[in-house]
Amino acid sequence: MKSRLSAFAKKTLLLLLVSLSAVSCASTIRAYKSEEMPEDPTIFLNERNIPNFSSSKPAVYFSSSEWMEKALEIIGNAKKSILITTFLGSYCDYTAPIYDALVQKAKKGLQVYVIIDSSSYEQYDYGKKNALPMAIDRLKGTGVHVAEYNPISGERIFMAPALLDREHRKYWIIDGTYVATGGINLNYLSFAPYGLDGQIDTFVLAKSAEAASYLIASFCKTWNGYSPRRISPDDFIATAKNPKDDPTIPLWIIDQGLKDRGEVDKLFDTFFACAKKEIWMIQGLAYTSPSLIEKIRFATTRGVDVNIMISENSDREANEIAAKYCIKDMIDAGANVYIYDSPDKGFLHYKLLLADRRLAAFGSANFNFRSQNLSREISFVYNDEEIGAIAYDNLTSLLKNARKIEREEAERYRSLRYSLIHAFMLFGG
């Protein structure tokens, strides 16, 4: 039986890693490179070997309740296979409908595979009253196949640096045809009501056998690294392709895995190098580092209006403190910073990048050092006016409950306490 590290031990471990790695990590932060950066995002992405696929225009779901309804529909309609990767997975009243639906499909003979990061242990409900069972434990013996990514266990403490590698991606593949991604986990925080620590988030769903084939290969590679049950992409590829008359647009997928660090950096560079007028970022977990601040400055010095929205109402005070500490640096680099305060007290967890109201990215990547360098991340990128308009409309609705932060207020968040928490969250957040 694996011995699980306590929450205190994990935090202590991460603090130790921060102190030991501070010098070396500071030297590895990549300064923004302005040479040979084309203004056209399509050229930029293709030149950097970001794979692109033919895709239907995505449906965008701007709340977990909307995604829950659609998720249950696509699970119910699935004919062959369901593959899901999630960072956090806990079983509770709010996630039970999805897990129970997956179990029912597995009992009917569908291939159902789920990868869950080991960070899912020690999750709690509202007010931290009750520990919630990790979904892996609840799904054992149900017919749903589950793998635990990079287990955090006592016997692996001497491999501490490797424990920083986390599976932060959230994506679904249905019948080798439909693909979905966003910020919504399969845990309490993602699906609980806003007043009970529930988060405001988004997921996008598209039809693309090409993209599905690409992500299936990624899924199988990850699965085979952490499960004795071997699987092959051939087991899940769709036999039927999209009809030729399906309306299609290009979809670029940023998929940052174990050996291809830097893909998220390419994602950020695409927006800051290619935007001509404005950039909007919804990034509640924006714990910036010098290289990220330099990206902001690169855009603002070209006359681009850079706008960043963070959020109140996190279930963890450290999330808000780490983001607020960075506001001064972002303002000094020329950005406008807004803080969102939901009337329902929900934390704005979703991660949107939007340039010139047409280049849009949805996915798991936060604007911070961890997503940039340490975690596995995924984003769907579209260069399309209609999709950009959908994202901008939602952004406009959020601005009704957001206020702009002035530099005088930002100065108040530069205390020693805020600085230490920010340093910790760069690695552990």
Q: Decide: 392 and 354 in contact? Cβ < 8 Å.
A: yes
pLDDT of residue 82: 98
pLDDT bin (cut points 50, 70, 90) of residue 283 is very high
Residues 69 and 187 in one domain: yes
| 379 and 406 co-located in one domain | yes
Phi and psi (nearest 5°) for 416? Answer: -60, -40
Which of 91, 184, 188 minimizes the C-alpha distance to 134? 91
- For residue 167, name the pLDDT band (cuts at 50, 70, 90): very high
Task: Tell whether 36 and 160 lie within a shared domain.
Answer: no
Tally of helices (H runs) and strands (E runs) in the chain: 15, 21
DSSP string, 38-62: -S-HHHHHHHTT--EEEEPPPEEE-
Strands 178-182 and 203-207: antiparallel
* CA 309 – CA 280 distance, rounded (Å): 8
90 vs 103: CA distance, rounded Å? 15
Of 33-42, 87-96, 135-144, the least confident: 33-42
For residue 162, name the pLDDT band (cuts at 50, 70, 90). Answer: low
Instruction: Specify if 241 maps to a domain.
Output: no
**Structural domain boundaries enclosing 273:** 7-51+257-428
Would you say residue 3 has pLDDT above 50?
no
Residues 220 and 292 grouped into a single domain:
no
Which two three-digit tokens encode residue 56? Answer: 């239907």
58 and 29 part of one domain: no
Comparing 18-22, 103-107, 351-355, the range with the smallest average pLDDT is: 18-22
pLDDT for the residue 132? 87
**To the nearest 10°, the Cα dihedral for 380, 183, 82, 238?**
0
Residue of 42, 136, 149 lying closest to 91 (CA atoms): 136
Query: Do 161 and 274 share a structural domain?
Result: no
Residue 107 lies in a domain: yes
CA separation, residue 258 to residues 66, 166, 316 (Å): 32, 10, 28
**Are 26 and 67 found together in one domain?**
no
Q: In Å, how far are 326, 346, 371 from 286, measured between CA atoms?
A: 8, 17, 10
* Nearest alpha carbon to residue 105 among 145, 147, 149: 145
- The answer to whether residue 242 sits within a structural domain is no
Is 111 inside a domain boundary?
yes
The continuous run of DSSP H or E covering 380 comes out as strand 375-383
- Which of these three, 235, 270, 301, is where a domain ends? 235
Q: Quick check: 13 pLDDT over 50?
A: no
Considering the domain boundaries, does residue 155 fall inside one? yes
- Model pLDDT, residue 14: 47
Whether 270 and 359 have beta carbons less than 8 Å apart is answered as yes
pLDDT at 240: 59
Are both 79 and 168 inside the same structural domain? yes
Query: pTM for the complete prediction?
Result: 0.90
pLDDT at residue number 237: 86
Query: Per the domain annotation, does 252 fall within a domain?
Result: no
The C-alpha atoms of residue 271 and residue 273 are separated, in whole angstroms, by 6
Whether residue 6 is predicted with pLDDT greater than 50 in this model: the reply is no
247: in domain: no
- Contacts of residue 370, Cβ cutoff 8 Å, sequence gap at least 6: 168, 287, 426, 427, 428, 429
Per-residue pLDDT at 34 exceeds 70: no
Among 202, 235, 268, the domain-final residue is: 235
How far is residue 170's CA from residue 69's CA, in Å, rounded to a whole number? 17
How does the average pLDDT of the chain come out, rounded?
88
Domain boundary among the residues 201, 235, 269 is at 235
Based on the fold, state whether residues 81 and 214 are members of the same structural domain. Answer: yes
Range scoring the smallest mean pLDDT among 57-71, 122-136, 264-278 = 122-136
- Residue 151's CB is within 10 A of a number of other CB atoms, namely 15
In this structure, the answer to whether residues 421 and 299 fall within a common structural domain is yes
> Which tens digit of pLDDT belongs to each residue from 320-379?
999 999 999 999 999 999 999 999 999 999 999 999 999 999 999 999 999 998 899 999
**Residue 157 confidence (pLDDT) above 70:** no
Q: Are residues 64 and 209 in the same domain?
A: yes
Q: CB neighbours of 30 closer than 8 A, spacing ≥ 6?
A: 262, 265, 291
**Mean pLDDT along residues 5-26:** 42
Based on the fold, state whether residues 199 and 145 are members of the same structural domain.
Answer: yes
pLDDT greater than 70 at residue 429: no
- In this prediction, residue 18 carries a pLDDT of 45
Nearest residue to 269 via CA among 25, 29, 33, 26: 33
Q: DSSP of 236-292, one letter per residue?
A: T--SSPPPTTS--EEEEEEEE-SS-TTHHHHHHHHHHHH-SSEEEEE-TT----HHH
Is 250 inside a domain boundary?
no
Number of structural domains the chain divides into: 2
Average pLDDT over residues 3-31: 41
Q: How far apart are CA 62 and CA 167, in angstroms?
A: 23
Q: Is the pLDDT of residue 128 over 80?
A: no
Indicate the pairing of strand 375-383 with strand 166-167. Answer: parallel
CATH (domain of 42): 3.30.870.10
